[in-house]
């Protein structure tokens, strides 16, 4: 997956001379990710915060429409809590880490002045590593099988701030996995059949490589 992503990005860079208003850049931010699906009684999944780092290339397809390809590294996972007699709130018991090399392929539709934009598309992700940490314990391997690939949908919006030749942007997006990343039975209290989801807050810099009126 890493070699494929780098090859794809290299081919896109070599072909930019055929496009006007092509943009490249870097992005970074945070994921507030969690799992959802089957779960045992008195147990709950909570959000886990991690980082999201990547590169991107935006290829103009039509007026105010871009194809955005964003090879990234994403730190995801969840916290698992259990309800304890006498406690007002469920108690954190396990933190699960799921780190991915991901390739979001998105359509970006901008406003007439290109200051605001909406995005949507799909993401293909390859599991890089996984682990779990019991509260008060040490990090260890996850005892259930995690699917090596994950597929998600992205939806979001952003705002751009021109800074001379470059442009700063900030955006928020929601991602929802549409396949189970585990197939364990619900009798297993650690990650039975679940899907991934996250809220991402990202910022970055874009650099135009072609003619740009902005």
DSSP state of 115: S
Model pLDDT, residue 214? 46
Q: What percent of the chain has pLDDT over 90?
A: 57
Average pLDDT over residues 128-136: 86
The dihedral formed by the CA atoms of 143, 124, 56 and 3, expressed in degrees to the nearest 10: 80
Model pLDDT, residue 150? 96
Model pLDDT, residue 87? 52
Average pLDDT over residues 15-24: 64
- Strand duo 91-110 + 116-134: pairing: antiparallel
Model pLDDT, residue 202? 98
Highest CATH level, class, for 25-208 = mainly beta
> Residue 114's pLDDT band (boundaries 50, 70, 90)?
confident
Residue 176 scores a pLDDT above 90: yes
Residue 60 scores a pLDDT above 70: yes
Model pLDDT, residue 20? 54
Pairwise CA distance, residues 56 & 103, whole Å? 10
pLDDT digits (tens, 9 = 90+) for 141-153: 887 889 999 999 9
CA distances (Å), 38 to each of 136, 147, 153, 169, in order?
Answer: 25, 16, 20, 37
> Residue 117's pLDDT band (boundaries 50, 70, 90)?
very high
CA 68 from chain centre, in angstroms, equals 14
Q: What is the 3-state secondary structure (H, E, C) of 27-61?
A: EEEEEEEEEEECCCCCEEEECEEEEEEEEEEEEEE
Pairwise CA distance, residues 35 & 48, whole Å? 10
pLDDT digits (tens, 9 = 90+) for 88-107: 555 568 889 999 999 999 99
Residue 122 scores a pLDDT above 60: yes
Average pLDDT over residues 194-203: 96
Q: Which residues of 163-175 are buried (b: 16+ CB within 10 A; e: fewer)?
A: eeeebebebebeb
What SS3 state is found at 10?
A: helix
For the chain, give every domain's residue range: 25-208
pLDDT digits (tens, 9 = 90+) for 24-39: 999 999 999 999 988 8
Average pLDDT over residues 13-22: 55
């Amino acid at each position: 997956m890493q070699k494929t992503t780098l090859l794809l990005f290299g081919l896109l860079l070599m072909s930019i001379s055929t496009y006007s208003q092509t943009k490249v850049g870097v992005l970074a931010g945070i994921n507030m990710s969690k799992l959802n699906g089957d779960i045992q009684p008195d147990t709950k999944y909570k959000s886990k915060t991690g980082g999201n780092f990547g590169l991107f290339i935006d290829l103009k397809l039509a007026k105010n429409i871009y194809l955005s390809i964003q090879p990234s590294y994403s730190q995801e996972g969840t916290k698992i809590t259990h309800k304890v007699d006498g406690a007002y709130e469920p108690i954190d018991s396990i933190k699960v880490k799921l780190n991915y090399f991901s390739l979001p392929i998105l359509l970006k539709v901008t406003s007439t002045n290109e200051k605001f934009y909406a995005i949507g598309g799909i993401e293909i992700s390859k599991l890089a590593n996984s682990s779990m940490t019991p509260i008060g314990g040490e990090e260890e391997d996850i005892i259930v099988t995690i699917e090596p690939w994950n597929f998600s949908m992205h939806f979001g919006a952003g705002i751009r701030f021109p800074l001379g030749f470059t442009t700063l942007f900030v955006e928020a997006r929601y991602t929802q996995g549409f396949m189970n990343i585990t197939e364990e039975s619900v009798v297993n209290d650690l990650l039975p059949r679940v899907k991934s989801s996250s809220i991402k807050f990202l910022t970055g810099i874009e650099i135009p490589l072609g003619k740009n009126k902005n």
